[in-house]
Amino acid sequence: MTAVIIKPDTEEKLRILSHDAQYDLACACGPRTPDQRRRRSADGRWIYPVTLPGGGTSVLFKTLISNVCSNDCKYCPLRDNQDLRRCTLSTEETCRAFLDYLNQKKVFGLFLSSGVIGAPDRTMDRLNSIAETLRRKHQFRGYIHLKIIPGASPAAIEKALSLASAVSLNIETPGAEYLSQLSNQKNFLRDIVEPIKLISRLTAEGSRYAAVRQTTQFIVGAADESDQKIVRYMQGLYKRLHLQRIYFSAYQHGLGEIDLPAEQKRANPADALTREHRLYQVDYLMRKYDFEDTDIEFGPDGRLSLECDPKQRWADKHPDFFPVNINRASRWELLRVPGFGPITVKRILNSRTKSRIHRIQDIGKSDKLLRKAARYICF
């Protein structure tokens, strides 16, 4: 009996690859309303929310161009030793699918990623070819985010920067010792750190590619890294390399071949997502509240508290800092007050230029956050 092998058509490839793209969870955490979170479109493809430079949000069309992968990352269900249906989109198929969405005004831009098809530069050639076709042939001037493949050459990286609005290379772990637990193939310094540094130099202020944003992502909980180690790396990525955003993806137990410690296996699965959420809160404190890595409080095991958010934790550990005089405190001091965010602090600073603040109601509507702040301020 002769076996009949049916090759998937474009729609079937998109179904398979859009499903596999779910394992990259960047942008999936944090927004307050369900409509701002990652969601699947009616035809089964993943679309992702992004914040626009001028404010507001829109959505990206996201897919892998291939789930073929020569890497051995233990956390990833697409690693090379897995038995699954593999396929690859051509440049024409990818462009046609994206432009169909764009013309229907379902998305405003494109997020392209891929498994490693043989070698990093071979994969980058495919990613760059799609972006170049959209830019040159179809005159698309909108948003394109390209994933940079670990180990890509400087030439391939610069080509991506010439075509993309944003790029990302996942750092994955806070150091070589942790990456070695997840992959026997990747070299942390050569394949990840050096390319990230190169992108930072090429996108520095005043450079040719200064308008291109750079982001990265940590895989949280796949190795035995501590939150403290991750936060220390975050400080360097923001302050020294000037990345725009850092994302976090909690390791999804059962998808990889990692043998977690017994206590992690017994833990509530929700704890992993809470840990991810705490790291996003720290990220916000560092980007918006002028917190340094040394300001973040950790337990004896180097972990963030699952019960208490990191800003409240800092306040609890520094009772001598309070109360803060709302009429004299600096922006930095006001941002340390639980319940005050950047918008409220800006309102306070503006109000102080006109008249003295006498009570919490002078700041604005006395909502839950302002009532919380009242315990930490004086007038």
Residue 56: what pLDDT? 57
Q: How many CB atoms lie within 10 A of CB 326?
A: 25
Tokens, residue 79:
């690693």
Q: Are residues 350 and 299 in the same domain?
A: no
Question: Measured at the alpha carbon of residue 259, what is the angle toward residues 254 and 261, in degrees to the nearest 5?
Answer: 110
Q: Strands, E, within the chain: which ranges? A: 39-40, 46-51, 57-64, 109-113, 143-147, 166-168, 213-220, 245-250, 324-325, 377-378
Specify whether 325 is located in the same domain as 257.
no
CA–CA dist 341, 12 (Å, integer): 46
Residue 289 banded pLDDT, cuts 50, 70, 90: very high
Give the pLDDT of residue 60.
83
Q: Is residue 5 part of a domain?
A: no
Burial 192-231 (b: 16+ CB within 10 A, else e): bbebbebbbebbeeeeebeebbbbbbbbbbbbebbbbbbb
User: In this structure, are 187 and 294 located in the same domain?
Assistant: yes
Do 289 and 333 lie in one domain? The reply is: no
Domain-terminating residue out of 262, 288, 312: 312
Residue 2, in any domain of the structure: no
* 257 shares a domain with 307: yes
Report percent pLDDT > 70 for the chain. 81
Last residue of a domain, one of 275, 296, 312: 312
Here the tokens at position 347 are 């309102």
**Scanning the structure block, which residue is given the tokens 């302002």?**
370
Compare 128 and 63 and report the one with higher pLDDT: 128
Query: Mean per-residue pLDDT for 347-362?
Result: 87
**Structural domain that includes position 347:** 318-378
In this structure, are 100 and 222 located in the same domain?
A: yes
Average pLDDT over residues 182-202: 95
Provide the whole-model pTM.
0.86
Mean predicted confidence (pLDDT) in 264-285: 85
Asked if pLDDT for residue 29 goes beyond 50, the answer is no
Query: In this structure, are 164 and 101 located in the same domain?
Result: yes
Answer yes or no: is 153 within a domain. yes
Domain CATH code at residue 267: 3.20.20.70
Q: Judge whether 298 lies within some domain.
A: yes
User: Do residue 274 and residue 327 come from a single domain?
Assistant: no
Mean pLDDT of 52-56: 53
pLDDT band of 363, cuts 50, 70, 90: confident
Domain boundary among 312, 328, 359: 312
Residues 291, 362 share a domain: no
344/252 same-domain check: no
In this structure, what CATH number is given to the domain that contains residue 341? 1.10.150
User: Is the domain of 38 the same as that of 96?
Assistant: yes
Report if residue 4 sits inside a domain.
no
Q: What is the pLDDT of residues 145-186, one digit of tens each?
A: 999 999 999 999 999 999 999 999 999 999 999 999 988 889
Ranked by mean pLDDT, the top range of 89-93, 129-133, 258-262 is 129-133
Give the count of domains, the chain.
2
